Structure 1
């Protein structure tokens, strides 16, 4: 299903140091078409070089956050090469979120299913409306959600992930919070405010520490606990030498106002 004529499939607006990306295929429930995947990738590539932006919010227009891959597009082609290329581009886009220096917050106002649920899980943080729902529902269409299983399993753990993957059943926002798929809940009328408050709090922190700390966290989560402690020890010992850390600790110890962060 194509986009509305003259309407880009992805919108961006900046609010100070916060970039807000909006999935703009409401007529298609924000299904991740190849065009939308490529637009997200291009924007993430730009953001990776944009030091003025400290945090990214990913939101969507319409009745769904995203219902996953565009099955009309998928069904239009039967060949392996086309499907493999589409999924490869999607996986690369999801990995770009983890590799961005800025934290990415999913603002989930409504349902997120299949690769849409994957997109939520791939973000560093997620603020969900209390009315949002989540599912890895490919199995109900005859297809196990293989690529969504990668970040979802890392968010919620093996048994909860397999419960979702093998049944395709929806979970509500409270369950998503309990299981670790989202990090915060808000009432629908407070979702914008709560998400922006979280993004602003992150944007106010020292940017170099946020960027390097995010990268370190994602690295150590894939390591053994011994390797993780070694990496984190090296990271913190180096971080303590930074101008921002020394100024911040000095301000705390001597009860001075928080300094202006220097790190870029």
Structure 2
């Protein structure tokens, strides 16, 4: 299937880490022009070098929790490429892991909500005037299934992703008359460096299990009995960023092997 993403201008936040590189690689293989956004420009420069044989890419330092940074990143993109066709909000964090609601500090709660919710809001706010003005645009927010079912020990993270669903659905209604699609991809557990080094150690310690035991237990909770990969999430982002999904807006698309459905 031809997704017709060649020469589309795609901003990806959090491009250099986590699921970001796989998502950028997938768009590059489709021929999109990429704007790689994040705080760690070293990681972004390395990713740009990896993609240089496939596509034109621009690196922009941006803290998505700072309104002026978001507005400047979009202005730089428009000055370089003339427009923004697609925004993929990947930037996010895990927040407190293993803490109950009453053990979570107000500071820890505020920090993850501001990053996971506020960062998406600020980037959407920056791109939407251009998208609505041109009557074309695709926004894909990366949420999480813990924002669909909740999870013990992940209250703050769950709250941030649950709130992102509301931001996505409300904005989809507002932007729809301007031919702008706004959707959310909701990964379950995604195997990768952050999962292995940040999430699993805390969960294993809290439960008195080895990390491999915790991973195997998670896999058993999924209908497909396997944990998602970054490429699984990237494929969903490509679909929602393309006109193949032109009649889909305001939806949650779980990419979780069936966990949210069970």
TM-score, normalised relative to structure 2: 0.31
Higher Cα Rg: structure 1 or 2? 1
TM-score, normalised relative to structure 1: 0.31
Query: Which protein, 1 or 2, shows the higher relative CO under an 8 Å CA cutoff with sep ≥ 6?
Result: 2
